[in-house]
Amino acid sequence: MSADGSIRRPDGKATVFDEAKSVLARFGYRTLGADEVRDDWAAMWELLKADFRTRARPFIADFASLREAEREAAIRYMAARLEADRLLERCEAAHGRLAGQGIDAAAVEAFANARESYENMVQRFGETRAELETLLSASASPG
């Protein structure tokens, strides 16, 4: 187990958490301090806006150029992603405690709760993405 409480494989290969964080890093994931707040919405939007490009809508506006409703929806989308990142870290820590402290009912329950919270936030992230997609599609439609 590493100093941060996460499990490391003896063969040195990445854990499922390492792999997930590696993928998320392409979209701006980074570990935040306990009290650190990330609100660099324009920079995060630059990393995430490509997810909304389609053949019919090949251009997605910069954050500052989004209409107010789109910008507010984009913030909800990015905030949900940030919260999912934090919950993934909590899930990883709870998983590490299972290995480090042994499997007991309280540790299993803590991991189950952390995982459920993460899964719920991933669902919410998807919902906020759909809301933003609807707004962007409406603004791209002629008329």
Query: Could you tell me the CA-to-CA distances from 20 to 23, 26, 54 in Å, in that order?
Result: 5, 11, 25
Q: Does 24 map to a domain?
A: no
Q: pLDDT-based confidence at 27, cuts 50/70/90?
A: low
Q: Does 72 map to a domain?
A: yes
pLDDT at 26 over 80: no
pTM for this structure? 0.78
Q: Does 66 map to a domain?
A: yes
What pLDDT does residue 1 have? Answer: 46
What pLDDT does residue 117 have? Answer: 95
Q: Does 15 map to a domain?
A: no
Q: Give the total number of structural domains in the chain.
A: 1
Q: Does 62 map to a domain?
A: yes
Q: Which domain holds residue 121?
A: 29-140
Q: Does 95 map to a domain?
A: yes
Q: Helices then strands (H, E): number in the chain?
A: 4, 0
pLDDT tens digits for range 44-84? 899 899 989 999 899 999 999 999 999 999 999 999 988 88
d(CA 141, CA 18): 40
Q: pLDDT-based confidence at 3, cuts 50/70/90?
A: very low
